[in-house]
Amino acid sequence: MKWSRAFINTLRETPKEAESISHKYMLRACLIKKLGAGVYDLLPLGLKSLNKVTAIIREEMNAAGAQEVLLPILSPSELWQESGRWAKYGKEMMRMTDRHENSWALGPTHEEVITDLVRSQVNSYKQLPLNLYQIQVKFRDEIRPRFGVMRSREFMMKDAYSFDRDEAAAMATYRLMFDTYTKICKRIGFKFRSVDADSGPIGGNCSSEFMVLAETGEDTIIYCENEKCGYAANMEKAVFKKPEPQTAAEEPLTKVHTPNIRTVEELAAFLGKKPEDTAKTILYIVDEKKMAGAVMRGDREINEVKLKNALGASEIRLATPDEILEKTGAPVGFAGPINLKEKGIRLAIDETVASLKNTVTGGNELDYHYTGVNRGRDYQENLVADFAKAVKGDTCAKCGGKLNEQKGIEMGHVFYLGKKYSKSMQAKFLDEDGKSKEFEMGCFGIGVSRTVAASIEQNNDENGIIWPMAIAPYEVNVIPVNVKYEEGMKYAEEIYKKLKDAGIDVIMDDRDISPGVKFKDSDLIGFPLRVVVGEKNFKDGKVEVKLRREKDFALMDKAEVFDRVVGIVKKEKEIK
């Protein structure tokens, strides 16, 4: 491609709406253009990079035995009602009604559609295992679209769905897809971690996220510092070693006047206790129906995803001050577990609280707290569960090492679904004994457009993008410094054509503009390798070759440039 013919209009200033590094550089480098909130035009440079990501994904999925399909974007509400997700999926699902008053969804994901397809076509164990995937546009009505294509309302996704005869076979497929995702990440050039993850609205009881490591990531990864252990999980799923149960003798239950106390730290200091000797009770409304109390050790925070799962809820929200006062008779900050069950409040206590003796809790009355609170004697919970946030410095539950944290961006997610969809949608096959059985399913997604943005978040500097060779829109940028210098321009044309004929994805900046602008644009867009033909060096038979990620350039004999450039491109694409 000649730059003079390319649709590339770089920006010198960062648009006001740009929030993240990838958002800023994708707009400035002319990869995307905003059309509306969370909706973007994908321009030639952006599409070239996205197509290279999809090519890698497609090659690895095909190599793993998956078969590509293309499913409709629109799906009828009846399928979602069968699975039970029409009501449960929430406001992120974009819904519409056609002229016949039929309800449809703009697909946020395709479990229902693929299950319907397979149940109509597959009826024997001889047709299994089966793994079908697509690379398709998805729609989710994000409450706050942000970070460009990182969290948009319309995005490109690869989603695969596996169907197996039993759990052992399904887990074998899960491991195969896990390994396939590892290969994809390595080919793209990511620094990444695979982590235990919450399954969210997709469902199932086993899932892993593939997280691209980046300081600008909006997700937090908890991992064990012991490299031999290898434990890692996202914040929503992370666990830590809980304290041993305390064995002290039970103290009498005492109600204490605690005026002007508003924080756990103030309460502990007032009573001569430690924050970890206290328990706070946070009240929630579950699925807009009933109230639940979550009791957490005073020095720790509640992980609301864990709590929601423990309660078996679709949604939870904090109760309002008025709701709390009406139900407990106490203002915010003074709720405690005693007598909550008797008031119709479902009571969940965290595992850290279950190990405590003689705890300090709210007194369910303004300016009063209880001391000497002991579960069993003073209150009975409905359930004990793990819903505490793991934090840096906690003890690893797997090996006893120390947990640490780092930032990351989710680019892929693999799920073992089991029979969640096959059971609700009556998707069955006949085994070798002629018995009807439900499929064991898996689901495997990659955010393709998000992957492009995640690569930029991981690979950039103050001048712009630094593309990995494997997904760069162009691998090489040939820059004739002065297009009026005939000998240099002739050589630039020759090396450009020769590289192009050799299968190198190359662009030549043939614009009649200043060298400084050419170099700035090249760095902003982030072409991995540039070949600069300048008059002074060329008269000595030399050409400048520079990798984008490196500070210095190399002067090469003009006769060596072709072989060296081809060699560099090939080496940069090797899996490290």
Q: Is the pLDDT of residue 201 over 60?
A: no
In this predicted model, what pLDDT tens digit does every residue of 209-251 receive, in sequence order? 999 999 988 899 999 999 899 899 998 889 999 999 999 999 9
Percent over 90 (pLDDT), the chain: 89
- Torsion angle of the four alpha carbons 184, 217, 24, 158, in this order, in degrees rounded to the nearest 10: 30
Q: What is the pLDDT of residue 199?
A: 52
Say what the pTM is: 0.87
Q: How far apart are CA 392 and CA 417, in angstroms?
A: 31
pLDDT bucket at 203, cuts 50 / 70 / 90: very low
| Pairwise CA distance, residues 30 & 45, whole Å | 7
**Number of helices followed by number of strands (H, E) in the chain:** 16, 31
**What is the C-alpha to C-alpha distance for residues 505 and 529, in angstroms, rounded to an integer?**
11
Q: How confident is the model at residue 19 (pLDDT cuts 50, 70, 90)?
A: confident
Is the predicted pLDDT of residue 49 greater than 60, yes or no? yes
Amino acid at 472: A
Using pLDDT thresholds of 50, 70 and 90, give the confidence band for residue 153: very high
Secondary structure, 3-state, 316-339: EEECCHHHHHHHHCCCCCCCCCCC
pLDDT at residue 200 is higher than 60: no
Alpha helices per DSSP H over 189-246: none
In this structure, are residues 514 and 462 in contact, taking their beta carbons and an 8 Å threshold?
no
Average pLDDT value for residue range 503-523 = 97
Give yes or no for residue 546 having a pLDDT over 70.
yes
Confidence bin at 205 (pLDDT 50/70/90)? low
Per the DSSP assignment, residues forming a β-bridge with 285 are 291, 317
> Cα(128)–Cα(163) distance, rounded to whole angstroms?
7
Q: How far from chain centre, in Å, is Cα 312?
A: 23
Q: ω before 129 within 30° of 0 (cis)? A: yes
Tokens of 512: 């009649």
**pLDDT, mean over the chain:** 94
> Which pLDDT score is estimated for 89?
86
pLDDT tens, position by position, 306-333: 999 899 998 899 999 999 999 988 888 8
Q: What is the pLDDT of residue 513?
A: 97
For residues 236 and 238, give the distance between their C-alpha atoms in angstroms, rounded to a whole number: 6
**333-349 per-position pLDDT tens digit:** 899 999 999 999 999 99
Q: Which of 112-116, 198-202, 493-497 has the lowest mean pLDDT?
A: 198-202
* CA–CA gap between residue 213 and residue 423 (Å, rounded): 37
Encoded amino acid at 385, one letter = A
Rounded percentage of the chain residues whose pLDDT exceeds 70: 99
Q: Which long-range contacts (CB under 8 A, 24 or more apart) does 261-267 make?
A: 261/367, 261/369, 262/333, 264/298, 264/299, 267/298, 267/360, 267/369
Q: Which of 96-113 are b and which e, b meaning 16 or more Cβ less than 10 Å from the residue's Cβ?
A: eeeeeeeebbbbbbbbbb
Task: Name the pairing type of β-strands 346-350 and 290-297.
Answer: parallel
Q: How many residues does the structure list for the chain?
A: 576
pLDDT at 476: 98
pLDDT per position as a tens digit, 417-439: 999 999 999 999 999 999 999 99
CA distance linking residue 455 with residue 149, whole number of Å? 12
91 pLDDT band, cuts 50/70/90, is: confident
For residue 139, the one-letter residue type is F
pLDDT category of residue 395 using cuts at 50, 70 and 90: very high
162 with 206: CB under 8 angstroms? no
Q: CA–CA distance from 303 to each of 131, 177, 201, 405 (Å)? A: 34, 29, 17, 16
Say which residues have a Cβ less than 8 Å from residue 554's Cβ, sequence separation at least 6: 544, 545, 546
CA distances from 552 to 116, 227, 530, 545, 549 (A): 57, 35, 12, 9, 9
pLDDT the model gives residue 202? 45
Q: Which domains does the chain have, with CATH numbers?
A: 54-238+404-455 (3.30.930.10), 254-385 (3.90.960.10), 474-572 (3.40.50.800)
Q: Are 285 and 345 in contact (CB under 8 A)?
A: no
